[in-house]
Amino acid sequence: MFLRSYKVTAELMDQLVASGAKEEVEPDPIGIERSRSLIAIRLKALIARDLWDTSAYWQMINAENPIDRSFQRALEVLEDNTFQRMGMARH
């Protein structure tokens, strides 16, 4: 499955930076390194979208993005009746 098996390579990241340089976008090595994992997630999601559809893009983003893991956890809590068990849900 694409979600688990496809990895964004260093070569692809380098190509992205080179493409930006061709468009006169000044590379920021510190920023690139700091954001490497998020950039890789976006690239993977864009590739999935191009191969399949917009839904595939969001599946990649929601499954792998550490920032969005809280969103995923919120969905789990809503589905597993956590709020009801804690007496926090309105009836």
pTM of the model: 0.68
Q: What are the tens digits of pLDDT across the range 70-86?
A: 777 888 888 888 877 87
Give the pLDDT band of residue 91 (cuts 50, 70, 90): low
Please tell me the least confidently modeled range out of 7-11, 44-48, 62-66: 62-66
Q: What are the tens digits of pLDDT across the range 12-51?
A: 999 999 999 999 999 999 999 999 988 999 999 999 999 9
- Numbers of helices and strands, H then E, in the chain: 6, 0
